[in-house]
Every structure is written in structure tokens, then in C-alpha cells.
Amino acid sequence: MRIQFNKSSQLLLAAAASLLAAFSITACSQFTQTLTVDFVYVLSAKAAGANQYGEIDVFEINSESGRMRQIPTSPFPSAGRNPVAEAVSSDYKSLFVVNQDDNTIVQFVIGSDGKIYPFNTVNTPGIYPLAVAATKSNVFVVDTYQPLPLCSTADPCSGSIGVYPLLAGGSSGSAPCNATVCLGAPLVNSAVNGSYWPLTLSGASSNDVVVPTAVNVTASGSFVYVTAYDSSTPSPVGYVFSFSVASDGTLTPLSGSPFLIGAGTKPSAIASDPTSTYVYVTDLLNAVVHGYNAASGNLTELAGSPFRTGGQPSAVVVNPTYPFAYVANAQDATVDAYSISNGSLTSLGSYTTGVDPVAIGIDPSTNHFLYTIDFLNNTVSNFELNMTGGTLLDAQFSPYPTAAQPVAVAAVPHNGTGAGIKAADATSGH
């Protein structure tokens, strides 16, 4: 018997063949690449487990939907009590976690699957560390109090900053450790004959208690900034302490440092742009963000600064690739989006987060996703960035639950490269 095919049948067969081919390609690609674009590390302070450590939730971000989900065996112990801050090494292979109650920095090695393994623990130079930043060469840690005999919560003194060099590790006998980078001994400040640089004022205010709040190191690695306020005055007075970073990591205060933000100000966070030209400081009390030209390391306030934010701005981040900045507002449970032109900020809109956002970040693989850490909600909120307009759109199923009292966030690209999907993701325009 001979079967005859009409034109419609031929078209149906052709369509079926095309669908089969498409399915085969898609199925094959699923085995050869992953949609995970980043691993995100959410640090939570509430004590948990037998050792009363904090916890680190590890999420993977889906490159298409932005959906975040925890990886197997997450969360991980923070290896210390009351973790408050974290940073990643420039090679994305180490996570540094600051545990305030233990006065420690714990170095975790990051596996290719995003899992973390505690590798080394060092004491911070001062007392009660609160902030940390890292470059290719150094880790900078800010302590609430200097390491002086009488400094304590009962008898507070001003804070300090310390520097740990990052040394090349490896398997050779001369390597200081077998991780890719190793924390060296803290550098010595010859001016005080100690491993710290004090954050103190001069003149009539030399005995005032200066409380540090945040740290930022420029992309160039040449300058490091610490925000702080004078707590000994009737109304807090905000400052930015500015240091140049020598080739060996030692610090030198810049002429004119600390730079005065103003009376009645309480700086809460600081960020710089990828060209190391502009610095942005949020003021918790006045609901503004100050913008500075910092091309020479010295700070000169920009025309039009300060720029209005929502209530109690608590965190700020600048997109490393696109001309946008974002501020998380703890009181309003919002994130404000801004475009950047010659350093100046122009508002693009405000977007709802979980309750009490206290930290903010942008995915390092594509710079396409933004996330906030919502302290009172015990969640992380995730947004997709419009790469041309800077506006935000909720990612799929956002927000996502975390361990209790999340306080900080850091992230690394999947396999250190973004799994080869950066070009497609960065041009999607969602």
C-alpha cells in the first residue's frame, strides 16, 4: 500500500522535525552549561547550633529569571559569634567573615559548587570589628575600639582600622598556606607602634569618642575610606577618614582627613564608583546621600549634593558597569535608584524591599541583579536591573527566606566567570 502526503502533512512533519531539533539542542545545552550566574552569601547574626555561631546562607541566582534558591547543605556556620560583615577576595575564591563577639576574621575557601570551608581564623587588631573590605593585595578591617587597655563598652574609646596583606598561597613548600591567597600578619603602624591606625580627631576634640560605621576601598586600591561620627557632642558630627594605601599596604592619612560631613549627621554607609573618581556616603539622620569627587583621594562635595533618599538610608552600591547607584532605606523598606552623570545623582524611582533593608549588593558576574538584605523580615530581596534605564523589577518569587537577623551580603560569579552567560544576560534589557 502506498501512502500519499499532502502539503499540510509535509508542513506538519517539517514543524515536528524542527521542534525535535530544538529540543535536542536545548536538552544538550542543559548538560553542558548551567543557568546559575552567581553564588550569594547572606550573613546572619543570630546565634544558632551547638557553638552559638551565626549562619551563612548560600544562594544561587538563575540567570534567566533571577530566582534565588539555597544550595544543598546551606546554611553554613559562620565559625564565630555575632558575625557582622563579610567580603570576598578579588579572585572570588575566599570569603572573609568578621565575627564581632570573638574579635575574629574567618577565611573560608569557596568551592566551585559555592560551598564554603573554614580555612583560617585570625584576631582583629582592635575590639569589636564591624566592617571589612578586600582588594587583590589587602584585607581592611575596622574595629569599634582601639586595642587599648581601658577600651570597652563600659569605657569606650575611638575606633581604628587594621590591614592584613594577602599573600599568594599554593602547594609549594615556600607558600604560607595552601589556599590561593593567605592572610598575612597585620601590618604595623610605626606612629603608634601597633597593628592599627586610630580614628581620632585633633585639637579640642582629641579626646572625643569617634564611632566608625563603614569602610570602602576604591577599585584602584589606592585609597581607603572609613565613615564615622563624633559621639561626644550633643548632636553627632559625621566624618570620613581618608587614607592612601602604599604598595606594602600601610596607610597614610590624607591631608585634611578626616573630612567633615557636618553637624547633626550620622554616616551609615559608603561606596565608590568603578573609576575611583566618586565616593558616596549615606546620612542616616537626614535621609540624604552625599556625593564627592575623590579623584585625588581628597573629598570635594559635588554640586547639587546631598541628594535626597528615603528614610534612614542604610546601604549604598554603585553598579560596576552601568551608570547607576542604589540606596537601601531601612525605615521605608525601599531601595532608591539613581542615574549617575559626572558624579551627580538623579532619582529614577523607589522600589519596595522586605522590612528593614540593611545591606545591598549587585551580582558580580553580569551586574544585572541587585539584592537587599532585610533584617526584620529575615529575607533577601532580588531585583532585575534595566541596563539602559536603571529601573528595577522584582525577580521571580522574591523575597526569599534567610536565617534569622541577616546583616550582610557578598557574592561571587559561578566558577569565577559567570558560567559563560555574561554577554547574553547583560544585553537582555529586562
The closest alpha carbon to 317, from 281, 283, 266, belongs to: 281
Q: What is the DSSP string of 20-83?
A: HHHHHHHHHHHHH--SEEEEEEEEEEEEETTTTEEEEEEEEEETTT--EEEPTT--EE-SSSSE
pLDDT at 1: 43
- Alpha-carbon span 272 to 280, nearest angstrom: 6
**Distance separating alpha carbons of residues 166 and 177, to the nearest angstrom:** 11
- Of residues 27 and 4, more confidence is placed in 4
Q: List, for residues 87-105, the tens digit of each pLDDT value.
A: 999 999 999 999 999 999 9
- Cα 270 to its chain centre, rounded Å, is 11
Cell numbers linked to 78: 559562620
Grid coordinates 586610630 are at which residue?
198
pLDDT tens for 381-400 read 999 999 999 999 999 999 99
Q: What is the pLDDT of residues 34-80, one digit of tens each?
A: 789 999 999 999 999 888 999 999 999 999 999 999 999 999 999 99
For residue 334, report the phi and psi dihedrals to the nearest 5 degrees.
Answer: -140, 165
The DSSP string of 244-274 is EE-TTS-EEEPTTPSEEEEET--EEEEEE-T
Lowest-pLDDT range, 323-337, 393-407, 408-422? 408-422
CA distance 229 to 261: 9
Q: Which of 102, 34, 96 is nearest to 62 (CA)?
A: 34
What amino acid is encoded at 104 in this protein? Answer: T
pLDDT above 50 for 7: no
Over 50: is that where the pLDDT of 123 sits? Answer: yes
Neighbouring residues of 65: CB distance < 8 A, sequence distance ≥ 6: 395, 396
Residue 6: pLDDT band (50, 70, 90) is: low
The CA R_g of the chain, rounded to the nearest whole Å, is 24
pLDDT in tens, 338-370: 999 999 999 999 999 999 999 999 999 999 999
Q: Which three cell numbers stand for residue 344?
A: 551627580
- Predicted confidence at residue 416, as pLDDT, reads 59
pLDDT score for 173 = 77
> How far is it, in rounded angstroms, from Cα 126 to Cα 149?
11
Residue 427 has pLDDT above 50, yes or no: no
Torsion of CA 43, 45, 48, 53, to 10 degrees: 80
Torsion of CA 125, 128, 133, 137, to 10 degrees: 10
Whether the per-residue pLDDT at 425 is higher than 70: the answer is: no
